[in-house]
A and B are shown apart, each in its own frame.
Chain A
C-alpha cells in the first residue's frame, strides 16, 4: 500500500518498500522559546528558516504546529502553513487540534497535505475525518480513544482498526491513514517501547497500512536522548514504521542506516550520499 502526499512542487510516496520518509518535527513551539516568541510576533521568517534547515537535513514532509500561549492559531497557522508550503514546495503536515485553525490552514495549503492528527475518540473521528475527506488529505491516526492509550499492542491495533473502518465509511481509503502506535516513556515503564514495537508489527501485518511515529517521547527523562531515540527509530523502521516524525538533524543517520539494513537502499546509494555529505573532504 502506497500513500501519496502532494506539495506545491513535490510529491512524496510512502510505502513499505520505499525509503523512509522523514516528517520534520521542529516547527513546534512547545519548549522552544525562540520559536514561541517569533510566532507571537508574527515573524514567519524564522518559521521559513526552520523549514529550510530541515529540508537540508533530509526532511521530506514538514510538520507545522504553532500552538502556544499568546498565539491565535486560527490566524497564525494558515500563515505558517503558507510560508512553509511556498518556501519548501514539500507536502505540509498540519498539526493542530484547533477546530477553526485546521480547516483555515487546509484551505490555504492546497495539494494533498497530511493532518496531524485523528484518534479513536468519537469526538475526534467526527471532527477530523470529514476534513480529511473534504480536502483530499491524509491523516495521522493515533492509537488512543475515549479510554486513553491501550496498555497492550492488541488494544492499539483495535483502535487503529476502528479509525480505518470509520474512514472507509466516508470513502477515505486506508492508504490515507498513517497509524502512529504511540511511543511512551521507557524511563517510566521499561516495557513501553517493546509494546509500541509489537503494536507496529501487528498493525503492519493485520491492516497493511503505513505507519508514522512520534518517537522522541521514548527517551524522556534519560540522558543522551539522541542515542536512545536513534536506536529506537531504527528498530521502529525495522518493525514497519515508514514515516517517523523526528528532528531530521538528529535522526537522519538512524533513518538512513535503518533503510540500508532493511532492503530500502539499492546499491547503498542513500547511505553513501549521506556519508559524503557528512565527510566532504573524502
Chain B
C-alpha cells in the first residue's frame, strides 16, 4: 500500500483533523482515485478506531475526532465519488426516534457507517415514524437504523416498524436498533431485524446485511 494511504489511515486513527485535507490532496495528485482513498485509507483507519473503541482503548471524544478527520477528507472526496459514480457499500437512514433528544450514540453509528463506506442519511433526533417512512420512500436505503436512550421512547421504534409495514415498505429495508435500554429481545419483539450493542457492531451488522 502506498505511503500516502498509510498516512491517511494514521491521521484518522490519531484524529489529526488539520492534516486530512492536505493528505487527501496529495493522494489525489499522486494519481489515487477518490474510491481508493476511501477504501484503502479512510476505511481501514476507522476500522482500527472502531476496534479500539470496542476494546475500551479509545473513548468517545477520540472516536468523534477521528470521525471528524475522516469527514474533512470526505468533504473533498464526495463530489469526486459522485462524479465517478463510485459504488458505495450501501445506504443507511439513521435517526433518534420520536421524543428522544439523545444523539451521541446515533452520531457515532452514522460516523462508523460512513467509515465503512456507507452513504448515510441522518434524519437527526426526535424523528417521527412518518419521517422514517418518507425517508425510506425518497432515499431507498438498504437499512434503517434507529436509536433510543429512554425506556419511554423505545416504544416509538415499534411504531416506526409498524408504520413501515403499513406503508408496504417493511421488506424493502433491514431495520436495526440500539441504545442503552434496547436489547436483542426487544428488537425481536417489535419486529426489527437486529440489535447492535455499540457503534462498531452496528457498522459490522450493516456490512453483513448488504453482503447477504
Known: A68-B151, A187-B64. A221 touches B59 (CB 8 A): yes
Interface status of A97 (Cβ within 8 A of chain B):
yes
Which of A's residues lie within 8 Å of B, judged by CB? 29-31, 67-69, 97-98, 144, 148-149, 185, 187-188, 190, 220-223
Q: Which residues of B contact A31 (CB under 8 A)?
A: 180-181
Q: How distant is B155 from chain A, measured CB to nearest CB, in Å?
A: 9
Task: Establish whether residues B185 and A69, one from each chain, have CB atoms under 8 Å apart when the complex forms.
Answer: yes
Known: A97-B152, A221-B104. A69 touches B60 (CB 8 A): no
Task: Establish whether residues B59 and A148, one from each chain, have CB atoms under 8 Å apart when the complex forms.
Answer: no
Q: Write out, one digit per residue, whether chain B residues 173-212 have a CB within 8 A of any chain A CB (1) or not (0).
A: 0000000110101100100000000000000000000000
Chain B interface bracket (under 10, 10 to 19, 20 to 34, 35 or more) = 20 to 34
Task: Establish whether residues A188 and B151, one from each chain, have CB atoms under 8 Å apart when the complex forms.
Answer: no
Closest 8 CB pairs of A and B: A221-B60, A67-B151, A187-B61, A187-B60, A30-B181, A188-B104, A97-B152, A31-B180
Task: Establish whether residues B126 and A220, one from each chain, have CB atoms under 8 Å apart when the complex forms.
Answer: no
9 contacts between A and B (CB under 8 A): A30-B150, A31-B180, A67-B150, A68-B181, A69-B181, A69-B183, A69-B185, A220-B60, A222-B61
Interface status of B121 (Cβ within 8 A of chain A):
no
Q: Which residues of A contact B61 (CB under 8 A)?
A: 187-188, 190, 221-222
Distance of A221 Cα from B60 Cα, bound (Å): 5
Q: Write out, one digit per residue, whether chain B residues 84-117 have a CB within 8 A of any chain A CB (1) or not (0).
A: 0000000000000000010010010000000000
Which of B's residues lie within 8 Å of A, judged by CB? 56, 59-61, 64, 101, 104, 107, 125-126, 150-152, 154, 180-181, 183, 185-186, 189
Which of B126, B181, B183, B186 touches A148 (beta carbons < 8 Å)?
B126
Q: How distant is B158 from chain A, measured CB to nearest CB, in Å?
A: 10
For A144, A187, A222, the residue with the greatest tally of chain B CB atoms inside 10 Å of its CB is A187
Minimal Cβ-Cβ distance residue in B for A69: B186
Known: A67-B152, A221-B60, A222-B59. A185 touches B183 (CB 8 A): no
Q: Which residues of B contact A148 (CB under 8 A)?
A: 101, 125-126
Task: Establish whether residues B104 and A220, one from each chain, have CB atoms under 8 Å apart when the complex forms.
Answer: yes
Task: Establish whether residues B104 and A185, one from each chain, have CB atoms under 8 Å apart when the complex forms.
Answer: yes
Distance of A29 Cα from B180 Cα, bound (Å): 11
Minimal Cβ-Cβ distance residue in A for B63: A221
Minimal Cβ-Cβ distance residue in A for B61: A187
Q: Which residues of B contact A220 (CB under 8 A)?
A: 60, 104
Task: Establish whether residues B180 and A144, one from each chain, have CB atoms under 8 Å apart when the complex forms.
Answer: no
Which of A30, A149, A185 touches B151 (beta carbons < 8 Å)?
A30
Distance of A222 Cα from B180 Cα, bound (Å): 16
Distance of A187 Cα from B65 Cα, bound (Å): 10
Q: Which residues of B contact A187 (CB under 8 A)?
A: 59-61, 64, 104
Distance of A149 Cα from B104 Cα, bound (Å): 14
Q: Which residues of A contact B60 (CB under 8 A)?
A: 185, 187-188, 220-222
Minimal Cβ-Cβ distance residue in A for B60: A221
Q: Which residues of B contact A149 (CB under 8 A)?
A: 101
Minimal Cβ-Cβ distance residue in A for B153: A97
Q: How distant is B18 from chain A, measured CB to nearest CB, in Å?
A: 17
Q: Which residues of A contact B151 (CB under 8 A)?
A: 29-30, 67-69
Q: Which residues of A contact B180 (CB under 8 A)?
A: 30-31
For A68, A69, A220, the residue with the greatest tally of chain B CB atoms inside 10 Å of its CB is A69
Task: Establish whether residues A188 and B64, one from each chain, have CB atoms under 8 Å apart when the complex forms.
Answer: yes
Minimal Cβ-Cβ distance residue in B for A190: B61
